[in-house]
Amino acid sequence: MVQVHLWSGLRPLVDGREVVEVEGETVGQLLDNLVKDYPGLKPAIDKGVSISVDGQIIPKSRGVKVKDSSEVFLLQRLYAG
Amino acid sequence: MALDGPKQDFKYIGTRPERPDGWDKVTGKARFGADFSMPGMLHGAILRSPHAHAKIIKIDATKALALKGVKAVVTRADFPEGLEGEDWNIQENVMAGEKALYDGHAVAAVAATSQLIARDALKLIEVEYEVLPHVTDVDKAMAEDAPVIREGAADYSVPEGMHPNVVRYMESGRGDLEKGFAEADLVIEESFTTEAAHQGYIEPHACVANLGADGKGDLWCCTQGHWFVRQMCTAVLGLEATQLRVTPSEIGGGFGGKTTVFIDPVALALSRKAGRPVKLVMSRSEVLRATGPTASASMDIKMGMTKEGKITAASGTFRMQGGAFPGAPVDVTTMLAFANYDIEHVHHVGYDVMTNRPKQAAYRAPGAPMGAFATESVLDELCRGLGLDPIETRLKNAVKEGTPATFGPKFPPVGLIETLEEARAHPNYSVKLGPNQGRGVASGYWMNWGGETSASVAIGDDGSVQVSIGTVDIGGSRASMALMAAEAFGIPYENVRVSIADTGSLGINEPTHGSRATFASGLAIIEASREATRKLCQRAADKWGIDADAVTWEDGCAKPSGPNAGEFDPLTIAEIAAEMGSTGGPISGHHESTPDGFGGSFGTHVVDVEVDPETGRTTILRYLVVQDAGKAIHPAYVEGQFQGGAVQGIGWTLNEEYIYGEDGRLQNPIFLDYRVPVASDLPMIDTVIVEVPNPGHPYGVRGVGETGITPPLPAIANAVRDAIGVRMKKLPLTPPRVLAAIKARD
């Protein structure tokens, strides 16, 4: 299971939890399983989020590998300037 | 993407050759958006709302259509219905539907045989409006009695009970603020505002559209990203994406403001209706009234610090208006406001608010400069209150590799400490100041971007190399791309030609935005070049009758990789290319990806000012930019980006602002009244390039375009504070405002 840290605005959607655990070996699987296991997050993920894996911000790529030990944060959807 | 780690030894990278577009630009040969024409072309003009907020009761174009030379009039009725989300926002912005939402909002457009006739025809279009109450200020737009711009625009994030103009809400942070502030020896809480500023590109938007009734068309335009233009135009007009080919012109500045569309769908709609090509060129007034400036902001900041200079806690509330549509970049503001520092207890709240202003567009590090203005101003006050040096204090708190960012993840290798150390060591930091002079320091960050990218390289039959990329060259990037190709092939810079391909010639490319072009297109060129050199090695191996693994590419030649590979004279790229038609056909390389390894860039600015106590005018005496470039491919253009960011920041801080009257109309829609800095306002901007290689790029590149506009707002405000002894909390620091502060002080 991968621990996913949530920004505080998302926590009310998952009973106040700061960190949730989901299965997944890629960013895409994590996002899919977050929606499946925590339906409260669906509006935010559908609207668009970014994710960071071990310090690298991943705006789009669903195929990036994730390990159980990875540091993973959900971030507001990022865009270029 | 597996990379070998940044290369460290270079032959061409880091040199300063002439830019390939330089001669054309200084001799007037370069073709910008308004320079393109077609046989049978019509000229377009757009009718714009004189009201900040009004219901459109009726549009009657009968008289305009009767005018000789008028070939078509379009209104919203000529655009498809049923769009949703951002597609609807763009359509609604380029042509008003039921309501005009801001002064300058397009309500109709004409195509005629001359621009004069088109403009005359606009006067004959009768529009009946029902004027509605308006609001242009972010704080007033959140008030209970504020007029509602559009019901139902808020997304899931907005808690119940907020005004309908609040369309997004965000909250992030960690730790225990109460505990953190209790540990501080000094806590300061202040409120700040910034006004909307325009990107101020010299070239107004311009395009020529040619769209047939069969839905096939071409568009020539000035843009930062022609695939974005294609996507937006086809969505707004209900076309199939690849049936519209978009070709970018040379571009006279963009700074984020040309990553979206304003006139292109209108020109296409006019062309489709008239059956002829249509050219549309904005006036400066139209640019200021109806394209996207950045957001304005209202912010409350609280920070605590120990007497040793350690930040114990920080919190910020950021309210931003981005015009009559969702999209103010407050999410980035909240993420980056305190990102320079290692802070255990931190909290951010953000509100995206709609007002009766034009739809904001990206502007260089969108959202970051406003937050930096507020937070770095408070940090400066903390240093003053505790008698601490601003650079030493920043060094004490600066993030480095492994520090948890205030927005969550741990930082990869970054160069903030290096920029602070270089700034401290620079001669500017020890110049003795005179009366009415002050010094300000501030740091800033931009995380940069990768984005969808596609590039090709093709070997010419004389061994020269043609590079095709999809990122428009705004700041000299063709030179940087040619240098990276030259390095990868081991051939002279002059033997590489770089072209910007149209949307029909390459896979999708995101715009030149997010400081990504040199990083992402450069990475794609290097990988495409490596693919091509593998093919060149294969041709040599075939000729020599050895295995390709026994051939290496070095200094523009295929060579046996060692004594066991055999005794063969090296084959140059020209020798292999001369025979490629008979040895397997043309040789090229391609690369497509969405690279994620973009590394963020930190910068530190030191500025000295003098404030005239009689007039309140601020003069910039010295300005130093120190920034991490990872690896400067073409140092002159890196320095140019540093200087450009500083200059735009100087304008935003001292002069530039959108001024709205009580009637909600923009009062200063020309450059005489919307004052950008000119050369005579400025000293030479000194630069120092720091190079902390980005491990996510083969040559260590970090984007450099945007970080440079993040520190100027607070650095200059801190310098003015040093000079006059008063903290200015409202930008811009115009002479009347500064003079009023001086008088209030005395």
Q: Which two tokens stand for residue B122?
A: 């606009």
The whole-model pTM stands at 0.97
What per-residue confidence (pLDDT) applies to A77? 86
Judged by a CB distance cut-off of 8 A, whether residue B333 touches chain A is: no
Judged by a CB distance cut-off of 8 A, whether residue B172 touches chain A is: yes
Task: Tell me whether residues B410 and A44 touch, CB distance under 8 A.
Answer: no
Asked if residue B503 and residue B377 are part of one domain, the reply reads: no
Q: Are B396 and B416 in contact (CB under 8 A)?
A: no
**Bridge pairing between strands B106-112 and B217-221:** unpaired
Q: What are the tens digits of pLDDT across the range B72-113?
A: 999 999 999 999 999 999 999 999 999 999 999 999 999 999
Chain B residues closer than 8 Å to A61 by CB = 594, 596
Tell me which residue of B480, B556, B510 sits closest to B20, measured CA to CA.
B480
Q: Is the peptide bond before A43 cis (omega within 30 degrees of 0)?
A: no
Last residue of a domain, one of B551, B575, B593: B593
Label residue B292 exposed, middle or buried (CB < 10 Å: 0-12, 13-18, 19+): buried
Q: From the list B411, B449, B514, which residue is nearest A55 (CB)?
A: B411
At B508, the amino acid letter reads I
Residues making up chain A, counted from first to last: 81
Asked if residue B442 and residue B430 are part of one domain, the reply reads: yes
Asked if residue B685 and residue B628 are part of one domain, the reply reads: yes
Output the domain CATH number for residue B522.
3.30.365.10
Task: Provide φ and ψ at B250, rounded to 5°.
Answer: -60, 155
Asked if residue B506 and residue B439 are part of one domain, the reply reads: no
Identify the residue among A17, A19, A57, A77 best suited for mutation to test binding to B, counting B beta carbons within 10 A and taking the highest: A57
Q: What are the tens digits of pLDDT across the range A33-76?
A: 999 999 999 999 998 899 999 999 998 899 999 999 999 999 98
Reduce the DSSP state of residue B625 to 3 states and report it. strand
Q: Order the strands of the B99-100 sheet from edge to edge.
A: B99-100, B54-60, B126-131
Chain B residues closer than 8 Å to A16 by CB = none
Residues within 8 A of B (CB atoms), A 17-56 only: 43-44, 47, 52, 54-56
Task: Tell me whether residues B156 and A73 touch, CB distance under 8 A.
Answer: no
Chain A residues closer than 8 Å to B362 by CB = 79-81
Q: What are the tens digits of pLDDT across the range B283-330?
A: 999 999 999 999 999 999 999 999 999 999 999 999 999 999 999 999
Task: Tell me whether residues B596 and A71 touch, CB distance under 8 A.
Answer: no
User: Residues A1-13: what's their mean pLDDT?
Assistant: 92
Q: From the list A47, A71, A80, which residue is nearest B409 (CB)?
A: A71
The nearest CA of chain B is from the CA of A8 a distance in Å of: 5
> Residue B36: CB partners within 8 Å, gap ≥ 6?
B206, B208, B220, B249, B279
Q: Order the strands of the B437-446 sheet from edge to edge.
A: B437-446, B601-611, B618-628, B685-690
Q: Domain A2-76, what architecture? A: Roll (3.10)
Chain A residues closer than 8 Å to B696 by CB = 56
Asked if residue B418 and residue B461 are part of one domain, the reply reads: no
Q: Are B471 and B9 in contact (CB under 8 A)?
A: no
Chain A residues closer than 8 Å to B521 by CB = none
Question: Is residue B534's pLDDT more than 50?
Answer: yes
Q: Which two tokens stand for residue B315?
A: 């919190």
User: Residues B242-251: what's their mean pLDDT?
Assistant: 98
Q: What average pLDDT does chain B have?
A: 97
Largest CA distance in chain B: 89
**Bridge pairing between strands B244-248 and B217-221:** parallel
The nearest CA of chain B is from the CA of A72 a distance in Å of: 7
Q: Which sign does the torsion angle of CA B640, B641, B643, B647 carry?
A: positive
Question: Is residue A24's pLDDT more than 70?
Answer: yes
What is the Cα–Cα distance from B460 to B467, expressed in whole angstroms? 11
Confidence of residue A78 (pLDDT cuts 50, 70, 90): confident
Interface ipTM: 0.94
The nearest CA of chain B is from the CA of A81 a distance in Å of: 4
Other CB atoms within 10 A of residue B667 CB:
12
Asked if residue B566 and residue B502 are part of one domain, the reply reads: yes
What is the Cα–Cα distance from B161 to B149, expressed in whole angstroms? 16
What per-residue confidence (pLDDT) applies to A64? 94
At B462, the amino acid letter reads D
What per-residue confidence (pLDDT) applies to B562? 86
Tokens 């233009």 sit at which residue? B229
Terminal Cα-to-Cα distance of chain B (whole angstroms)? 61
Last residue of a domain, one of B593, B608, B623: B593
If you measure CA to CA, which chain A residue comes closest to B260? A81
Question: Is residue B1's pLDDT more than 60?
Answer: no
In a domain, B91, yes or no: no
Q: Which domain holds residue B466?
A: 22-30+450-593
Judged by a CB distance cut-off of 8 A, whether residue B85 touches chain A is: no
Tokens 């840290």 sit at which residue? A5
Judged by a CB distance cut-off of 8 A, whether residue A60 touches chain B is: yes
CB-based burial, B689-726: b 16+ in 10 Å, e otherwise: bbbbbbebbbbbbbbbbbbbbbbbbbbbbbbbbbbbeb
Asked if residue B564 and residue B471 are part of one domain, the reply reads: yes
SS3 readout for B195-247: CCCCCCCCCCCEEEEEECCCCCEEEEECCCCHHHHHHHHHHHHCCCHHHEEEE
SS3 readout for B152-195: CCCCCCCCCCCCCCEEEEEEEEECCHHHHHHCCCEEEEEEEEEC
Q: From the list A59, A64, A76, which residue is nearest B331 (CB)?
A: A76
Identify the residue among B331, B445, B697 best suited for mutation to test binding to A, counting A beta carbons within 10 A and taking the highest: B331
Tell me which residue of B746, B420, B731 sits closest to B606, measured CA to CA.
B420
Task: Tell me whether residues B155 and A59 touch, CB distance under 8 A.
Answer: no
Percent of chain B with pLDDT over 70: 99
Judged by a CB distance cut-off of 8 A, whether residue B227 touches chain A is: no
Q: What are the tens digits of pLDDT across the range B395-440?
A: 999 999 999 999 999 999 999 999 999 999 999 999 999 999 999 9
What per-residue confidence (pLDDT) applies to B3? 45
Q: From the list A5, A8, A80, which residue is nearest B451 (CB)?
A: A80
Judged by a CB distance cut-off of 8 A, whether residue B696 touches chain A is: yes
Alpha helices for B549-589 (secondary structure H): 573-578
What per-residue confidence (pLDDT) applies to B107? 98
Reduce the DSSP state of residue B336 to 3 states and report it. helix
Asked if residue B684 and residue B612 are part of one domain, the reply reads: yes
The nearest CA of chain B is from the CA of A18 a distance in Å of: 9
Task: Tell me whether residues A75 and B597 touch, CB distance under 8 A.
Answer: no
Task: Tell me whether residues A75 and B156 touch, CB distance under 8 A.
Answer: no
In a domain, B295, yes or no: no
Tell me the CA distances in angstroms from B507 to B154, B239, B452, B478, B592, one per residue in order: 35, 18, 9, 19, 8
Asked if residue B736 and residue B630 are part of one domain, the reply reads: yes
Residues within 8 A of A (CB atoms), B 378-397 only: none
User: Residues B523-531: what's their mean pLDDT?
Assistant: 98
What per-residue confidence (pLDDT) applies to B207? 98
Q: Are B654 and B717 in contact (CB under 8 A)?
A: no
Chain A residues closer than 8 Å to B513 by CB = 80-81
Residues within 8 A of A (CB atoms), B 514-543 only: 514-516
Task: Tell me whether residues B362 and A71 touch, CB distance under 8 A.
Answer: no
What per-residue confidence (pLDDT) applies to B2? 37
Judged by a CB distance cut-off of 8 A, whether residue B513 touches chain A is: yes
Asked if residue B701 and residue B714 are part of one domain, the reply reads: yes
Tell me which residue of B263, B262, B276, B208 sits closest to B70, measured CA to CA.
B276
The H or E element that residue B121 is part of is helix B115-124
Task: Tell me whether residues A73 and B408 touch, CB distance under 8 A.
Answer: yes
Would you list the domain boundaries of chain A?
A: 2-76
In a domain, B512, yes or no: yes
What per-residue confidence (pLDDT) applies to B4? 54
Judged by a CB distance cut-off of 8 A, whether residue B450 touches chain A is: yes
What per-residue confidence (pLDDT) applies to B315? 98
The nearest CA of chain B is from the CA of A43 a distance in Å of: 6
Task: Tell me whether residues B170 and A9 touch, CB distance under 8 A.
Answer: yes
Q: Which sign does the torsion angle of CA A24, A30, A32, A34 carry?
A: positive
Identify the residue among A76, A77, A78 best suited for mutation to test binding to B, counting B beta carbons within 10 A and taking the highest: A76
Asked if residue B465 and residue B428 are part of one domain, the reply reads: no
Task: Provide φ and ψ at B433, rounded to 5°.
Answer: -95, 150
What is the Cα–Cα distance from B27 to B100, expressed in whole angstroms? 43
Question: Is residue B725's pLDDT more than 80?
Answer: yes
Task: Provide φ and ψ at B625, rounded to 5°.
Answer: -115, 125
**Count: domains in chain B:** 2
The nearest CA of chain B is from the CA of A61 a distance in Å of: 7
If you measure CA to CA, which chain A residue comes closest to B448? A80
Last residue of a domain, one of B534, B566, B593: B593
Other CB atoms within 10 A of residue B432 CB:
5
What per-residue confidence (pLDDT) applies to A79? 79
In a domain, B83, yes or no: no
Strand partners of residue B171 = B349
Judged by a CB distance cut-off of 8 A, whether residue B88 touches chain A is: no
Asked if residue B512 and residue B422 are part of one domain, the reply reads: no
What is the Cα–Cα distance from B476 to B33, expressed in whole angstroms? 18
Q: Which two tokens stand for residue B33?
A: 């958006």
Task: Tell me whether residues A71 and B331 touch, CB distance under 8 A.
Answer: no
